[in-house]
Every structure is written in structure tokens, then in C-alpha cells.
Amino acid sequence: MAELLHISEHRDTKRSDAITALARHSLFSNMPEEIFAEFSAAAQLMESEKGQMLFLQDDPSEWFYFVVSGWIKLFRETVDGGEAVLDVLTSGHIFGEAAILDGGIHTLGAAVVEKTTLLRLPATILKNAITKNHTVALGMLASVSRQRRQQTQDIEKLSLQNTSQRIGCFLLRMCKTSDVTSAEFKLPYDKSLIAARLGMQCETFSRALNKLRKETSITVKGSSVGIPDVSELASFSCSNCSQEFPCHDLH
Amino acid sequence: MAELLHISEHRDTKRSDAITALARHSLFSNMPEEIFAEFSAAAQLMESEKGQMLFLQDDPSEWFYFVVSGWIKLFRETVDGGEAVLDVLTSGHIFGEAAILDGGIHTLGAAVVEKTTLLRLPATILKNAITKNHTVALGMLASVSRQRRQQTQDIEKLSLQNTSQRIGCFLLRMCKTSDVTSAEFKLPYDKSLIAARLGMQCETFSRALNKLRKETSITVKGSSVGIPDVSELASFSCSNCSQEFPCHDLH
DNA sequence: CGTTGACTTGAGTCTATTCAAATCCTGTGG
DNA sequence: CCACAGGATTTGAATAGACTCAAGTCAACG
């Protein structure tokens, strides 16, 4: 029993840490305490393994989720097997909440990309909170607006940039601050998933990354990327962007 | 003076008709009367000619607009001359309002596509109304959500459908009701603009439309389109869609 | 050490683009 | 009412970009 107790204590710690993180999310941070308490009481900590489907497009929405750690992809699947990856999310982001505004039906599917810890929250609480409380409605409005801006950018990029440029912009978004001149980092998830997120095949990704390596001074070794001259990469990638570097990450 | 008076009376009639139409828009229809009165008092009737720019991307947002009649395109322009058309709007739609949620800066440009009558409304009134009034905030939330759904669909289509299929879906959306078996109509605006809206060149549009004509039973003569068998066109176009026909028009 | 999955490379193909030229349409001035 | 200029649309030819399928390489893991 001691062992179980210990595990349970550990789990409780994890859960309360997760709720602390949840409280920092912009949708929750301005929320009246008594409403946040509802979410906090109902939140369920979940550990999910790679490949698990959390919901599918057209499912009725019962829950929405907060990512504590790990990676989640949002996607749409077509009748004949195609898949479009609309977004890939990690710690600090919520997903599935938009269904509340879409007639209670998910417009995207969500799947676990690698071992992920989530908080699962009842959609009804959020739905009621939006209806009842002005502050929550404004928070939701800000959240949906951010998504709209992000999608606007994605459409622009799909329409106007070639594959190398899209990869270049993706790499630039990995550079945390906007005023760095050089950067080194690891790719956040599999190349094949990055390819899907950018709307290309993985073979095309591989070749386009090679082209980017030839035409700029970036280095790539496995998942390690070096960008010795950020502005050089920006001028290669963003000539077909409407925005100056940096293409802010709009999450 | 009689003539002037007559014109002025005519103009007043047009303006009040426009305001009646405005009142039917979902953002305004549930609004408290006293708030709607503010919009109604401030609304300015505008006649705009083809080519006029209403605002550009990155402009500070002072106004938003309601389309009384005509056509408006929303677009982004890149550094080196490319343009992505994000949407094309007509009677009954508003645009430019999203800037209120984007830091007061327009994320898209707006241009008149053909002679258009607009109501111009001060952004500050809407901004204040959203802040002050819960119902207005909920209306705005519904409006932004609709845009988000629409963009999600656009991204899916850009990622997964070829040019002929995208045109096919566009034609299907022209069929007003979802249960028709056949339809005849005129294209709503220039083919070159449809091409841009669907993310392709006009030459490509022309060829892809020919292909669609060869592979389905649709007829095209100038801007007149006949669809003798809607379900046939749907099965050609929507095999790469995640949704069953009809791809609802989400405006 | 072999297996598995991720990634890369090669070859061929297809789709959409570019540039150029022809054709169609429409509004306008005569 | 007609001829015509200018824009819209179509067509042709060549090209470029991305995709598919197949094969090979690499690295992690049991």
C-alpha cells in the first residue's frame, strides 16, 4: 500500500502542477476564481501514448484538452485516405475547445504524436462559462482570433511559398526570440510530421531541406539545426511572405 | 435645388435600406437596441468603384464595413508582388471587423472588385460594444468562429484537392440549396478572380475547367454554368474532401 | 546482431506554372 | 448601329516543382 500511496501522491503532485500550468493559459488567467474552480475540480490528468486518437472530425464534442507535455496533432482526413495536418501543439496549448462554437461537433481530429500528458476538461463547463461570463467570452474570443490569424498565415504560405521557403519559415519560427542573429536547436518532432504540417510529402521535405542547405548557410545533422545567419535565411524564405521576418509563432 | 433634394432623398432611402439590411446580420440582429442605435447613427453609406482599396494589410483599423451590394476581395500581398486572395464577399457580409481583435491592425487588405455599395462603421464602437456587452461579444465570437471554420476548409482544400476538384467544389457551393439534383447559374465574378480565390493561375483555371467539363457532364458557356447532375460533380470533386457534399458555404 | 522505422536518394511522371500568342467580349466613340 | 481598343479568357509549348514508387542508408532498440 505504501507504494500505491506514493504513486498516488506523485500523481496528485503532477495533477496540481498541471492545474497550475492551466491557470497560466490566457483563456484561464483572467477568469473569475469561482469559474476556474469548476474547471480545476473537473480536470482529469491523462497520460496518452503515441498514436492514440483523442477525437475525430465530426465527433460530438464532450471534452477539450490542455497539453501539459508532449505533442498533439490536429488533422482532417479525406474519404480516400488523404490527411491534412492543420496544427501540431505542445505544452501550454489547448485544443478541441473550438467545437463548442461549431455546434458541438469537432471540425478536426486530434491524435497523440508522442507520449503526452493532458488535462481533460468537460466542454459543457466552458460552454456555460462563455454563456454566463463576459470575461470568459472575451478570453475565448482572443483565443479563436489567434487561431484565425495563424490560419490566415498558413493559407498565405500554402498559396505563395515553395517547399524550401515554407521549411525556412518553419525553422525561423523555432528561433525563440526575434532579435537573434544565429541559432542552434533540435527539430521539435519528426521530419515526416513537419512535412505534413507544411503540406508536403516527406520525400519532398528531405529534398527541399537539402536545397535550403545548398542555398543558405544553415546546417542540418539529424534533428540538429544550425542557423548561423538568421537574416540570410529570412531573406531566402520570406520574399514570398507578406510579413517581415519574423513570422511570429501565433500560438 | 429640387434635383439635389431629390437625390438626397434617394440617398436617404438607400441608407435606411442599407441599415435595415445591416440589422439582419447575425452580429447585429441580437444586439441591444441602444447599441445598434450607435452603429446606425454612425454608419456612412459609401459607393465604391472597381479597384478602390479600402484598407491594406498592416493599416491601423479605423473602420469596418458592411456590404450592401457588389463584391469585395480580401487579400494579402507579398514583398515581391504575389497576391493571395483569402476571400471574396458580397451583400450581407461584414469585413475588416477582425482587426479589432488583432491589435487594431488589419491582417488583410480589402479592395473593391466591382461597383459596390458599403456601409462604413467606426471600429471603436464595435470594440467598445464587445467590451461592454456580453451579447455583442458572443455575436462576435460566432462570427470569428465561422471564419475559422471557413479557413480550415480552405486549408484542407489547398492541401488535398487538385485544381479541377477545387473548381468543382466552388461550383457546388453556387448551388443554393443542398438538395438540388441539377442547377444553372452565372459565375458570380470574373474567372480570373475565382482562380485567385482558389489559389491557382487563370490559365490553370481555364484548363482545369475544361478538364472538369470533359470528365463530368457540366456545361460552361461564358459565365453560364449548367450542372445537370450535382451528385456526379460532387463525387468527382469531393473524393479528396473530408466532408460529404455539400461543402457548405460558411459565410 | 538483426529488425524496424525514419530518412534519403533516384528515376520517372504528373501537375501546375510561365511566357507567348491567339481569340473572345464588352463598353465606347463615331 | 458598327468598328475598335483594351481587358479577359483561352490555347500552345516549354519548364519547373512536387509527387509516386522503389531502393537504399542510417540509427535506435530489443
* C-alpha cell, A64: 477539450
Which residues of chain B lie closer than 8 angstroms to A239, CB-CB? 78-80
B21 within 8 A of B70, measured Cβ to Cβ: no
CA distances from A197 to A157, A167, A204 (A): 12, 10, 13
The reply to whether A200 has its C-beta less than 7 Å from any atom of strand D is: yes
pLDDT of residue B5: 47
One-letter amino acid at B229 equals D
Nearest residue of B to residue A142, measured between CA atoms: B101
d(CA B38, CA B24): 16
Helix (H) or strand (E) holding B99: none
One-letter amino acid at B70 equals G
> Residues A169-175: what's their mean pLDDT?
93
* C-alpha cell, B246: 455539400
Nearest to A251 by CA among A99, A143, A114: A143
User: Which of A84, A107, A240 is facing B149, going by the closest CB pair?
Assistant: A107
Which residues of chain A lie closer than 8 angstroms to B134, CB-CB? 134, 137
pLDDT of residue B8: 61
Radius of gyration over alpha carbons of chain B, in Å? 20
Q: In the Cβ-directed half-sphere of B7, how many Cα atoms lie within 13 Å?
A: 4
pLDDT of residue B197: 97
User: Which of A57, A134, A155 is facing B154, going by the closest CB pair?
Assistant: A155
Which residues of chain B lie closer than 8 angstroms to A248, CB-CB? none
Q: Where are the alpha helices (DSSP H) in A108-229?
A: 123-132, 134-160, 163-174, 191-197, 202-215
**Can you give the distance from the CA of residue B222 to the C1' of nucleotide C28 in angstroms?**
22
What residue segments make up the domains of chain B, in order of their start? 2-158, 161-240
Q: Digits of tens for pLDDT over chain B (251 positions)?
A: 444 445 566 667 889 999 999 999 999 999 999 999 999 999 999 999 999 999 999 999 999 999 999 999 999 998 888 899 999 999 999 999 999 999 999 999 999 999 999 999 999 999 999 999 999 999 999 999 999 999 999 999 999 999 999 999 999 999 876 678 899 999 999 999 999 999 999 999 999 999 999 999 999 999 999 999 999 999 999 887 877 556 665 55
d(CA B54, CA A155): 22
Which residues of chain B lie closer than 8 angstroms to A97, CB-CB? none
The reply to whether B13 has its C-beta less than 7 Å from any atom of strand D is: no
Nearest residue of B to residue A134, measured between CA atoms: B134
Nearest residue of B to residue A98, measured between CA atoms: B145
d(CA B121, CA A34): 37
Where does B78-190 show beta strands of DSSP type E?
83-89, 94-95, 109-122, 183-186
pLDDT digits (tens, 9 = 90+) for A200-212: 999 999 999 999 9
B209 within 8 A of B165, measured Cβ to Cβ: no
Q: In the Cβ-directed half-sphere of A77, how many Cα atoms lie within 13 Å?
A: 14
User: Which of A137, A154, A159 is facing B141, going by the closest CB pair?
Assistant: A137
Which residues of chain A lie closer than 8 angstroms to B78, CB-CB? 156, 160, 239-242
**Can you give the distance from the CA of residue B181 to the C1' of nucleotide C18 in angstroms?**
39
pLDDT of residue B223: 94
pLDDT of residue B122: 98
pLDDT of residue A242: 79
B155/A155 touch (CB, cutoff 8 Å), yes or no? yes
Where is mean pLDDT largest: A48-52, A133-137, B177-181? A133-137
* C-alpha cell, B34: 441602444
pLDDT of residue B79: 81
> pLDDT averaged over chain A?
91
pLDDT digits (tens, 9 = 90+) for A64-87: 999 999 999 999 998 888 899 999
Domain B2-158, CATH: 2.60.120.10
**Can you give the distance from the CA of residue A149 to the C1' of nucleotide D18 in angstroms?**
27
CA distances from B198 to B84, B172, B211, B233 (A): 9, 14, 16, 17
d(CA B251, CA A243): 26
pLDDT of residue A181: 87
pLDDT of residue A240: 79
3-state secondary structure of B189: coil
d(CA B14, CA B122): 19
**Can you give the distance from the CA of residue A184 to the C1' of nucleotide C9 in angstroms?**
26
pLDDT digits (tens, 9 = 90+) for A235-246: 999 887 877 556
pLDDT digits (tens, 9 = 90+) for A180-198: 889 999 999 999 999 999 9
Render A60-121 in DSSP notation, one character per residue. BP-EEEEEEEEEEEEEEE-TTS-EEEEEEE-TT-EESGGGGGTTTB-SSEEEEEEEEEEEEE
User: Which of B78, B138, B152 is facing A240, going by the closest CB pair?
Assistant: B78
Better-predicted residue by pLDDT, A225 or A251: A225
Strand C bases near protein CB (under 7 Å) are 6-11, 15-20, 25-26
Nearest residue of A to residue B56, measured between CA atoms: A242
Q: Above pLDDT 90, what percent of chain A?
A: 84
d(CA A222, CA A224): 6
How many C-beta atoms surround the C-beta of residue A178 within 10 A? 11
* C-alpha cell, B70: 457588389
Question: What distance in Å separates residue B82's CA from the closest CA in chain A?
Answer: 7
Peptide bond into A122 cis (omega under 30): no
Cβ of residue A137 closer than 8 Å to a chain B Cβ = yes
**Can you give the distance from the CA of residue A82 to the C1' of nucleotide D19 in angstroms?**
14
Return the CATH class of domain A2-148.
mainly beta
pTM attached to this predicted model: 0.93
pLDDT digits (tens, 9 = 90+) for A84-103: 999 999 999 999 999 999 99
pLDDT digits (tens, 9 = 90+) for A15-44: 999 999 999 999 999 999 999 999 999 999
How many C-beta atoms surround the C-beta of residue A10 within 10 A? 10
Strand D bases near protein CB (under 7 Å) are 8-13, 17-22, 27
Q: Which of residues 38-97 of A touch strand D (CB under 7 A)?
A: none
Long-range CB pairs of B86-90 (<8 Å, 24+ gap) are: B86/A152, B86/A155, B86/A156, B86/B151, B86/B154, B87/B150, B87/B197, B88/B113, B88/B188, B88/B189, B88/B193, B88/B197, B89/B251, B90/B188
Which residues of chain B lie closer than 8 angstroms to A154, CB-CB? 155
Q: In the Cβ-directed half-sphere of B110, how many Cα atoms lie within 13 Å?
A: 25
Q: Is the dihedral of CA B183, B188, B191, B194 positive or negative?
A: negative
Counting every residue written for chain B, the total comes to 251
- When scoring B58, B102, B144 by the number of chain A Cβ atoms within 10 A, the one with the most, hence best to mutate, is B144
Peptide bond into B188 cis (omega under 30): no
Q: Is the dihedral of CA A96, A101, A102, A104 positive or negative?
A: positive
Longest dimension (CA), chain B: 63
What is the CATH architecture of B161-240? Orthogonal Bundle (1.10)
